[in-house]
Structure 1
Amino acid sequence: MNSYGLFIVLLAAYILILVSIGWYFNKRQKSVTDFWLAGRRINFVAIGCSAAASWMTAGGILAVIGLYMLLGMGSIWGFVAPNILALLLIALLVGKIKHLPAITQPELLEQRYSSSIRGPVALIIAVVMILFAVADIKGFAMVLEIFFGLPSVYAVAIVALAVSVYVTLGGLSAVIWTDVIQFIFLAGFAFAMVVAITGSATSVDTSSVMTVSELLSDVPEGWWNPFSIGILAVMIFIFAIIPGWVTEQDPWQRVWAAKDEKSARNGMILGSFFIFLVFGVACTIIAIGLNHVYPDISASFAEIGMGAMAQAEPALLVYIFEHFSPLLIGLSGIGLAAAAMSSTDTFATSGGSCLSRDIYQRYIKPDATMKEMLAVNRLSVLIIVAGATIGSFYIDGILAAIHIATFIASAAYFFPLMGGLYWKRATKEGALAGLIVGFVAQVALTIVDLANTPAFAPAYLDSIHPVLSNHGVIAGMALSGIAFFGVSLATKPSETVNLAPFFKEAAKDLEKKIFVDEADPQYKKMLKVMTEEITGDRAHLYLILEASATVNWNKFVKDITGKYHEWVTPTGVDSVYRLTKSDMLACITITRGQTEKEIWFESEPRVKDIDLHRKEMFVAFNEVSATLKEMGVLLTLS
């Protein structure tokens, strides 16, 4: 069997494993939270593997190796170092992020500001996720073209079909646990390449065999200097890239999915270490070895500059094709397929959540049942994959797609998001101004830069001033920050209901004492029908009840929020909170269930407070039951 035949057989087996994982988790989903946040049950090892695998794209690996070959360690600031630093910074922010009551960042921003910002942020994040996924598909297309002579449409079909099937089945649980498998494949592939290429590089000259240490030291002067590009360029890369990656939705979703704060923090730290091992160690050694096997590539850099990336980027693939047996070529293809899928599934899940929850459920059908939402969730994932598929035919460079997406994220929603979490004076008008100004400015600067830059020439904006490098993202962020802070200071402060979940001092007036007779037969009955699960430092309380008739959800929400001031809808009528404390995860939430008769009660208190929240669940049930009774509908604990 030739290499292509072996690859197809191995790929089919690999995809079958991934789909089986998706099917397994499909049977365990009880809610949209289970689909998008894996039920908040993930341990730190899985978080670490998934966080690392999400950035180890096939295209990213090839691009990093290519940059090392041409520029040495000075190139780490364009991709590798920001990856590592962003995850470490997120680890520092876990205490703030973990207990925020949201499934998506647009939902979070609506809670902090108002509904006016949720839609625009959701659309921007969806566009950013599509651009990230483009890089994965393009990298895998390069693999198939060099290994098997296949056109890029095959890469699109393989990644799109495989990812859309297992992600739409299992949601974030499937993404994370398939990421664990994909990381193992990818790390194994990377270090196998280290062994193979160092073996070839140290024996290129048969008259004088080198040792590995001699190979690593046989590089141009300054190759190992990470600051060879200059401190100014390093600072520009840091400020251009890291804000976008720190505020990117998909690592936040992994923090929310972790079973507790410790697991989230350790997972992010572990993920950064894994990225260092693959990008910082394995890819470095591979690049040095390839420079010895193909010395003409680095030599051509002096003549044609970054045009040499056209040879450096696929150098690893060319090496595999020229030196490996059909079986090893097939296995290498699987390793790189794992890299492509491990990132595409992340971006599809993250972007899809914005389309389904933040657009469809928030604005199109707020009273959608859970069954309907799971169907829309799956369709949204397909839309993101389809968008990336189309984009892959129009965007040429792998890192170009990643950087454009990152710069848009940095300029558009860094200040509205982080400012909203840490600055009480931030307002909805300021957030919307910062979002729109940053997005429009960054898109315009990117278009101007690309339109005026000839092929293989230095970027047009770079030639004007170094601060305008990276498509002028520093300028885009500056304009966004000016708009955000200026408009916030000029407008009315946010209401207490918007500040309470984010600032404890603003929630003091919300605290309520709960009085429940534990001998009440109805209370005892509720305890029997309520489901309780403990994961990490949180308890999960679920109460799923069916009313006597179809519930007019919109009227019910209007009535209960009018009758009881504790009940609020900070993110639309799909979720109604009994807002009695700053910890909104612990607040009782009611949503429509699988059918139009079902109502789901949910609360995620800290384990030490579980008894108090059992009683509050009973109070919430009585208030919901009384409201429905006035509508002619009965809700009982049966």
Structure 2
Amino acid sequence: MESYQIFLILMAVYLLGLIGIGLYFTKKQKSVTDFWLAGRKISAIGIGFSAASSWMTAGGILSVIALYMLLGMGSIWDFVAPNILALLLIALLVGKIKHLPAITQPELLEQRFSSSIRAPVAIVIAIVMALFAVADIKGFSLVLSIFFGLEPIYAAAIVALAISVYVTLGGFSAVIWTDMIQFIMLATFSLIIAFVLVGAATTGTADTSAMTSSDLFGDVPSGWWNPISVGVPAVLIAIFAIIPGWITEQDPWQRIWAAKDEKSARNGMILGSFLIFLIFGVACTAIAISLNHIYPEIPASFAEIGMGAMADAEPALLVYIVSSLSPVAVGLCAVGLAAAAMSSADTFATSGGSCISRDIYQRYIKPDATMKQMMTINRISVLIIVALATVLSFYIDSIIDVIHIATFIASAAYFFPLMGGLYWKRATKQGALAGLIVGAVVQIGLTAVDLANTPPFALPYLTTLHPVLSNHGVILGMLLSGVAFFGVSLATKPSDTVNLAPFFADEAEKLEKEAMVVDESDPEYKKLVKVIEKEVTGDRAIVKLNLEASATINWDKFVNELKNIHPSWVTPTGRNSVYRLTRADMLSCVSLTRGDSEKEIWFAAEPMAADIDLSEKEFLIAFKQAAEAFANIGLLLTLPAEN
């Protein structure tokens, strides 16, 4: 049986398994939180494997190996080190991020600033996520081209159709669990191939004598192992160019919000960084050194044609596999690299799709959409990102370049608005919008100028002008974004207390407080305690109450009435969600959303596990206030009969 036939059989079995996972989680998707954040129940293991898997693309692995072959450890600053450092830095931010009741970063920015910034950030993130997904499709295209001589459209079709099915079925839960499987497959492939190549390089041929593994790893050019061989300035430029964009990516934040508690989120990010090191730092290093020994002409060509040698270095691993291994091994390797492509593309599809669904459709097009309607839109949004990435994959050639371009746009556009909003109280909506627009426009312009004026395989045009302008001038883009953000913020009116309270505890003290008096002998309280749904997940609990009004709810009319009679109810992220904002920990505050039908209203909160009793009392107050608002608009809201 030929390797292509073996690949098709194995791929079919693999895809059926992924679809099965998607089908399993379909029944568990009841709300947008379930779909986009897996119900906030993911453990540290799930977070770690998924975080590592999402940053381990097939194209990324091939590019990392190629860079090692040509530049040695000095190349880690282009991709590897920023991956590892970004997850470790995100682990430090978990305490600030985890307790914010957001599903997406644009939603968080609206909470902090205003609605004016939400749509622009959502559009930028959707585009960036689609560009990241392109790198996965391109990498897999290279695999299928070398292994089986297939055109790029086949890779695009396999990746697009597969993730479209299992992600739209199972949401983020399916992404997490398939990522775990995909990482195990990828790690197995990488480590086995590393052992095979080391064995091949040390065995000896007609032209070379046998050697030990220690001799192989010592037989490298001078300075090959030096991680700062490119120079400290180049290292610093790479750090400031890449890491800001990666620590503010939507997808790792989405995993933090999906984690069952702060400890799981933090440990998961640390685990993810270790797993990335295992593949990029250990397996890829061994593969690159072995390939240099097997194909010495590739590193030798670097002295003559510079980075043009990437054309031979990037597919070197694939060439070795197809020319040296059995058909079964080739088929297995192809499936392993397909897993790498899907494990990243599915993450980017959900991150970008959540922005289209939550931040564009629900926020601006149909704020009163029912939960059932939103579940359909969620799935359509994933398909939009997949389709966009598939189309773009036919027009973009360089894998590393597309990753960097997307990263640089993110760094310049929303690093300062996002991080400044979290930690700087004086940041304003005008400053955030100015930083976003200036950073995005300047960075896109610099990238276009750099690409248009750089000949093939030549040093980038902007780099020839000044080293600080390397990486498509992202340092300049970020600098101008920061100047606009801080300058305009200082020149404009400070943010309102309702925008600052969820982010700064001292501002929460200024919130208007309503007296909370609950008589535990109240029949309604006793009834509510029995019908309310409670589930402890880590250090928090998920508390829910789904009710049905006496007739169709005019959502806008209800929200207006509730806010008028009880000022503690606010809509910091649009009318689709109403919060009873009485404390800094907004995640524990009671929120109201539409249910599956136009008569349903859902109450929800995620208090600390130790505060469930207090949350029950807050639910009673929230229920009575909502019932009062309904009565004022001619509707009746009552607690259901006990089961």
Rounded Cα–Cα distance in structure 2 between residues aligned with 1:44 and 1:530: 28
Amino acid in the other structure paired with 2:572:
P
SS in 2 for 1:585: helix
- How many Å separate the matches in 1 of 2:299 and 2:510? 66
Query: Which residue in 1 is equivalent to 2:441?
Result: 440
* Letter of the 2:619 counterpart: M
CA distance in 2, matches of 1:299, 1:231: 25
One-letter amino acid of the structure 2 residue matched with residue 76 of structure 1: I
Equivalent in the alignment of 2:162: 162
Q: Distance in 2 between matches of 1:205 and 1:2?
A: 27
- The equivalent of 1:321 in structure 2 is 322
Does structure 2 retain, via aligned residues, the 8 Å contact 1:351–1:384?
Answer: yes
Secondary structure class of the residue paired with 1:622: helix
User: Quick one: distance in 1 between partners of 2:322 and 2:328?
Assistant: 11
Partner of 1:172: 172
- Equivalent position amino acid for 1:612 in 2: L
Q: CA RMSD in A?
A: 0.8
Superposition deviation, residue 558 in structure 1: 1.1
| CA deviation map 1:149-178 (0-9, x unaligned) | 100000000000000111111111110111
Distance (Å, rounded) in 2 between the aligned partners of 1:308 and 1:525: 73
Residue deviations 1:23-75 (CA, integer Å, cap 9, x gap): 11111122110111111111101100000000100000000000000000000
Q: Deviations over 1:355-386 (max 9, x none)?
A: 00000000000000001111001001000011
1:184 and 1:514 map into 2 onto residues whose CA distance is 51
> What's the CA shift for 1:146?
0.5
Structure 1 residue matching 2:547: 3-state secondary structure: strand
3-state SS, counterpart of residue 591 of structure 1: strand
Distance 2:5 2:626 in 1: 61
Contact kept in structure 2, 1:204 and 1:293, CA below 8 Å: no
- How far apart are the structure 1 equivalents of 2:374 and 2:62? 38
What does residue 125 of structure 1 align with?
125
Q: Which moved more, 1:208-217 or 1:487-496?
A: 208-217
Q: For 2:19 and 2:515, locate their aligned partners in 1 and report how far apart those are by CA, in whole Å.
A: 48
Q: State the alpha-carbon separation in 2 of the partners of residues 396 and 209 from structure 1.
A: 39
Offset of residue 96 of structure 1: 0.6
2:523 to 521, 524, 528: 521
601, 625, 628: which is aligned to 2:627?
Answer: 625
CA separation in 2, counterparts of 1:529 and 1:599? 15
- AA aligned to 1:622 is K
Q: Verify the 8 A CA contact 2:561 2:632 in the aligned structure 1.
A: no
- Structure 1: distance between partners of 2:557 and 2:636: 15
Stretch moving more, 327-336 or 523-532: 523-532
**Aligned residue in 1 for 2:428:** 427
Structure 1 partner of 2:230: 229
2:534 corresponding residue in structure 1 = 532
1:108-164 Cα shifts (integer Å, max 9, x gaps): 000000000000000000010011000000000000001111000000000000001
Amino acid at match of 2:568: E
Deviation (angstroms), 1:7: 0.5
8 Å CA contact 1:569–1:577 kept in 2: the answer is yes
Q: Does the CA contact (< 8 Å) of 1:204 and 1:292 recur in 2?
A: no
Q: Which residue of 2 aligns with 1:563?
A: 565
The amino acid of 2:353's aligned partner reads: G
Distance of aligned partners of 1:512 and 1:612 in 2 relative to their CA distance in 1, 3 Å threshold = farther
Partner residue, 1:485: 486
Report the AA paired with residue 163 of structure 2: V
Any conservation in 1 of the 2:548–2:637 contact (CA below 8 Å)? yes
State the SS of the aligned residue for 2:99: coil
Alpha carbons 2:497, 2:510 under 8 Å: kept: no
Task: Specify the alignment match of 1:77 in structure 2.
Answer: 77
Q: 2 CA distance for matches of 1:274 and 1:234?
A: 23
Helix, strand or coil at the partner of 1:600: strand
Match of 2:5 in 1: 5
Q: Secondary structure at the match of 2:188?
A: helix
Partners of 2:498 and 2:159 lie apart in 1 by 43
Equivalents in 2 of 1:60, 1:513: separation in Å?
A: 56
Letter in 1 for 2:248: T
* C-alpha distance in 1 between matches for 2:600 and 2:142: 50
Aligned amino acid, residue 547 of structure 1: A
Q: Which amino acid aligns with 2:217?
A: L
- Please tell me whether the aligned partners of residues 569 and 578 of structure 2 are also in contact (alpha carbons under 8 angstroms): yes
1:525 & 1:213 partners in 2: Cα distance?
A: 72
Scaled by the length of structure 1, the TM-score of the pair is: 0.99
Distance (Å, rounded) in 2 between the aligned partners of 1:326 and 1:519: 74
Superposed, 1:98-497 pairs within 5 Å as 98-205=98-205, 208-497=209-498
Q: What whole-Å deviation, never above 9, does each CA across 1:163-197 have from its counterpart, x for those lacking one?
A: 01111111111101110000000000000111110
Mapped to 1, the partners of 2:94 and 2:515 lie a distance apart of 30
Measure, in 1, the Cα distance between the counterparts of 2:185 and 2:386: 23
Is residue 27 from structure 1 mapped to residue 33 from structure 2 by the alignment?
no
1:525, distance to aligned residue in structure 2 (A): 1.1
Q: CA-to-partner distance for each residue in 1:251-295, whole Å, 9 max, x for gaps?
A: 001011111111000000000000000000100000000001111
Encode CA deviations 1:416-453: one digit per residue, 9 max, x unaligned: 00000000000000000000000000000000000000
Q: Which amino acid aligns with 2:39?
A: G
Q: Secondary structure at the match of 1:544?
A: strand
What amino acid is aligned across from residue 491 of structure 1 in structure 2? T
CA distance in 2, matches of 1:275, 1:589: 38
- For residues 476 and 619 of structure 2, the distance between their equivalents in structure 1, rounded to whole angstroms, comes to 50
Partner Cα distance (1:562, 1:399) in 2: 53
* Structure-2 residue corresponding to 1:61: 61
CA distance in 1 between partners of 2:11 and 2:639 (Å): 50
Shift of 1:512: 4.5
Give the partner amino acid of 1:23: L
**Residues 514 and 568 in structure 2, CA contact (< 8 A), matched pair in contact too:** no
Structure 2 unaligned runs (5+)? Answer: none
Alignment of 1:577-596 (within 5 A): 577-596=579-598
Paired with 2:597 and 2:212, the residues of 1 have a C-alpha distance of 68
How far apart in 2 are the matches of 1:255 and 1:218?
Answer: 43
1:541-586 deviations in Å (ceiling 9; x for gaps): 0000111110011111111111110111000000000001110000
Native 8 Å contact 1:62 1:316 kept in 2: yes
- TM-fit CA distance, 1:396: 0.8
Counterparts of 1:358 and 1:387, CA distance in 2 = 18
Structure 1 distance, partners of 2:492, 2:126, is 29
Query: 1:77 is matched by which residue type in structure 2?
Result: W
Amino acid at match of 2:597: T
SS of match in other structure, 1:602 = strand
Cα distance between partner residues in 2 of 1:247 and 1:86: 9
Unaligned runs of 5+ in 1: none
Amino acid corresponding to residue 109 of structure 1 in structure 2: L
CA offset at residue 513 of structure 1? 4.3
Q: How many residues align?
A: 638
Instruction: Give the drift of 1:208.
Output: 2.4
Tell me the equivalent position of 1:597: 599
Aligned letter for 2:83?
N
When normalised by structure 2's length, the TM-score is: 0.99
Q: Distance in 1 between matches of 2:566 and 2:8?
A: 61
In 2: Cα distance, 1:64 partner to 1:339 partner: 14
Supply the distance in 2 between the matched residues of 1:372 and 1:210 (Cα, whole angstroms). Answer: 64
User: What amino acid maps onto 2:439 in structure 1?
Assistant: G
Residue 518 of structure 1 aligns to a residue whose secondary structure is: coil
Matches of 1:212 and 1:40 in 2, distance apart? 46
